Amino acid sequence: MSASRYRNFLQLCEKWPIDKSRGERDLGALLRKRVMDSFSKAEASVVDEVSCDRAYTSLQRIVSDVHRNRWVRTRVTNVTGTAAEALNKALSDEGLKDMGAEGSKGIGTIFKDKFISLTSSPRGTTET
């Protein structure tokens, strides 16, 4: 029974994208490490079937975008009002290194300084 679970998790790892800009903080890399730790003896590993099936089902829904497709958003928004690409760049290893170089500034000030110039609409207005 553990052999099929192991194969399912390997297929899940193949589907899961790797974001190289995040280094070891990438969820895909963490998933692969956890699978290798949990199935240290490959198909002969002994695992808790209930928690293993629950984790697999949840991760499968995430990688398949089940909830994203079920509740489609008309526009993507975030608290800073910036584009997703800019946030991904800020959360990359390079972006975090740049923020660390800012010194004693708070994270809110750093984000505001970095992204206020990226937003094209004035504060308080919404785009349609």
22 and 60 both lie in a single domain: yes
Between CA 69 and CA 47 the distance in angstroms is 32
105 and 53 both lie in a single domain: no
58 and 99 both lie in a single domain: no
Tens of pLDDT, residue by residue over 27-79, are: 888 888 888 888 877 777 778 889 888 998 999 999 999 998 998 877 776 77
For residue 126, pLDDT beyond 60? no
Q: Which of 25, 15, 35, 21 is nearest to 92 (CA)?
A: 21
Contact 31, 50 (CB under 8 A): no
For residue 107, pLDDT beyond 70? no
16 and 56 both lie in a single domain: yes
Domain boundary among 70, 86, 101: 70
Could you tell me the two tokens for 9? 């998790």
- Total number of domains constituting the chain: 2
Tens of pLDDT, residue by residue over 6-24, are: 888 889 989 988 888 887 7
Question: In Å, what is the CA distance from 125 to each residue of 111, 119, 120, 122, 128?
Answer: 19, 11, 11, 6, 10
56 and 103 both lie in a single domain: no
Between residues 93 and 106, the one the model is more confident about: 93
Boundaries of domain holding 84: 74-128
61 and 79 both lie in a single domain: no
63 and 28 both lie in a single domain: yes
So what's the pLDDT on residue 62? 92
So what's the pLDDT on residue 59? 92
78 and 66 both lie in a single domain: no
55 and 112 both lie in a single domain: no
15 and 48 both lie in a single domain: yes
Domain boundary among 70, 91, 106: 70
93 and 126 both lie in a single domain: yes
Q: Express the helix, strand and coil content of the chain in percent, nearest 5 each.
A: 60, 0, 40
